[in-house]
Amino acid sequence: MRKSAALLSAAAALSASSPAQQPPTPPGQLTEWLQRMQPIVPRGYVCQKTTTPPVIDGKTDDKAWETAAWTDDFVDIEGDAKPKPRFRTRAKMLWDENCLYITADLEEPHVWGTITQHDAVIFQDPDFEVFIDPNGDSHEYYEFEMNALNTGWDLFLPKPYKDGGPAMNAWEIPGLRTAVHVRGTINDPSDTDEGWSVEIAIPWKVLGEAARRTSPPAEGDQWRLGFSRVEWQTEVRDGKYHKLPKTPENNWIWSAQGIIDMHRPERWGYVQFTSNPPGTTSFIPDPSAPARNRLHEVYYAQRDFRARHQRWAERLPELGLDSSPSPGPVGVPIIHLTPDGYLCMVELQRPGHPTETWSIRHDALIQQLPRKP
């Protein structure tokens, strides 16, 4: 929209007379999605089944881990828009009939931690975090955080914070096993450390509580999973580490989100489970990605629209989106208003497969709808 000359003059006068300039208007959520999030392809990992579970002692040199591949090195949460992390972080995964096993190695010249209370806000320390959405619907997902003192925080989210999801801190992981190994000395600024590593064993019984699918997984199943490392810059005063004032944390993660928010499950990586011998199974990109991306385009456009008009749009043109058919496997999204909000549906046609119908709800629940008989 073009501004009038009078309005521009008034704005210029206000800016000249004001000692501080007004902060720029943040980009709309659709713009963030199209420019910063959607262009990043979530990473994938093939998780091997093991006949011998690793010993949970925090060390990554257990024989069980030898056949497991390292993930790609972690990157900044915003992806290539930010510099490469100062220190290397990477992870491995294994599984058997009892647990999902995770290990991670975090390079760190100064290992420190202060929090010892279970279920405290662990990311106030440097930490390692795991996010798991078993069926990839962006709802009912698990989060676990731990610091170098092996203090943990487990929580469950019915839906993302942006969609009204509360963090259920009372949720626990019975049978959880964790360990930390520090290559150096913790909380000692007088020397230089190599880093710290973690091991985690999460029982399938717990992960199956809200999985809405087989747990442990079947051959070829893919779960959405995110890893994150929170890193704080510090200074030494009186022989102790202190966070640099007015300096935000770094968020280094396995698969970039595009924005500073881990609670966007639609951008987490994919973990594909297999019982086949190591090196014989290739990762299969998500064939539903085109439908998921198109639905999230509508979802973020709806959030912008509702912020401006205090209602949901009924048609794509209201959202500024094209409603004409386009080449490709994804049809034209159709919006249905509901008593609670809306449901948007789109058809996905994959070669050699029956037509699928995918939907997204106003609260980000995304799923494939059952085929009509």
- What would the pLDDT profile of 15-63 be if each residue is shown by its tens digit? 333 344 444 556 799 999 999 999 999 999 999 999 999 999 999 999 9
3-state secondary structure of 101: strand
**What mean pLDDT is predicted for residues 114-119?**
98
Rounded CA gap, 342 and 238, in Å?
A: 57
Q: What is the DSSP string of 211-227?
A: TSS-SSPPTT-EEEEEE
Instruction: With CA atoms as reference, report the closest residue to 173 among 145, 149, 213, 147.
Output: 145
Helices (H), the chain: 5-17, 29-32, 204-207, 289-309
The model's pLDDT over 264-309, given as tens digits with 9 standing for 90+, comes to 999 999 999 999 999 999 999 999 999 999 999 999 999 999 999 9
Can you give the pLDDT at residue 44? 98
Q: Which residue ranges make up each domain of the chain?
A: 42-274, 289-368
The CA-CA-CA angle for residues 313, 358, 140, to 5°, reads 90
Look at the pTM and tell me if it is higher than 0.75: yes
- Topology of the domain comprising 42-274: Immunoglobulin-like (2.60.40)
The model's pLDDT over 173-188, given as tens digits with 9 standing for 90+, comes to 999 999 999 999 999 9
The CA-CA-CA angle for residues 273, 276, 278, to 5°, reads 90
5 versus 130: which is more confidently predicted? Answer: 130
Can you give the pLDDT at residue 371? 86
